[in-house]
Amino acid sequence: MRHITRVLWVSVALLFGWALPGTSAPAQAQGGQTLGGKTELLWLGQSAFRITTPGGKVILIDPFITQNPKTPAAWKDLGRLGRIDVVLVSHGHGDHFGDAATIVKAQNIKMWGPAGLADTLVEVGLLTTDQAPRMNKGGTIFPLGPGISITQTRAEHSSEFIYMNNGKREVHVGGEPVGFIIRLENGFTIYHMGDTGLFGDMTLIADRYRPDLVLIPIGGHFVMDPNDAAAATRILHPKYAIPMHYGTIPQLAGTPAQYKAALQGETVEIREMQPGDTTSF
């Protein structure tokens, strides 16, 4: 009788997508459809990534594309990016803000970044308050529905915004720099670190968010060099790491080979990409 009851329970659980005792429920897309897709990342150079989630949502981060010397020519046609659901910008520097305003206006979507950067973009007339809503470190939003959360966290950097006003160069407030914790529909968690140096609160980020994948700057000079990036990786304990923000200008001299060498003996899987490459998880 117990065996029959167990069989009936398993059948009902599978029918309705319930979790069996001792297991996790299957990831659900919006509308209740079970997710079967993968997470895909396209790297466009520097810190620019297009993330396609298992449910088909598209997140574009730090879209420095048309003026990026490392972005392949074919990808400088912004229309090739396809539909974008939301843009994230980690700070106000031009090699991260890049084409954000153009993409946001063309696709009628929102850009989320530091609150001070949003204020400046509205003040100089690049975006509206609806196109550049405000948030700050510690805040969590769900702009793509309840299944995907985006949290701003600390980054150790600066964030000036340079605006060309009728040919005159103006330096504006860009808010404080941030990183992004992106938790997807299936629980896979990505930490885009933005531009940052090494800091002790990475221990808290590791304990609180437990990232599966870190997108980590390694170039040095303005950000962590390969040795500091290796130290950060040891703190964060991700399953995967993708090095970024290197090789674009001479000062960003750190290389993936140096990063890998500094991480010898660690179990993290380092995926070295070339601009224009995609990888899936």
Tell me the per-residue pLDDT of 38-95, one tens digit each, with 9 for 90 and over: 999 999 999 999 999 999 999 999 999 999 999 999 999 999 999 999 999 999 999 9
- 274, with CB counted inside 10 A (0-12, 13-18, 19+), is exposed
Q: Residue 3 domain-assigned?
A: no
Per-residue pLDDT of 158-206, as tens digits, reads 999 999 999 999 999 999 999 999 999 999 999 999 999 999 999 999 9
Q: Inform me whether the pLDDT recorded for 268 exceeds 90.
A: yes
Whether the CB-CB separation of 175 and 91 falls below 8 Å is answered with yes
Q: What domain range includes position 110?
A: 32-264
CATH of the domain at 205: 3.60.15.10
Residue 164 belongs to some domain of the structure: yes
Domain membership flag for residue 170? yes
State the pLDDT confidence band at 37, using cuts at 50, 70 and 90.
confident
Q: Would 5 be classed as within a structural domain?
A: no
pLDDT digits (tens, 9 = 90+) for 107-144: 999 999 999 999 999 999 999 999 999 999 999 999 99
Q: Residue 20: inside a domain, yes or no? A: no
Total domains, the chain:
1
pLDDT tens by residue, 201-232: 999 999 999 999 999 999 999 999 999 999 99
Q: Does residue 249 fall inside a structural domain?
A: yes
Q: Is residue 260 included in any domain, yes or no?
A: yes
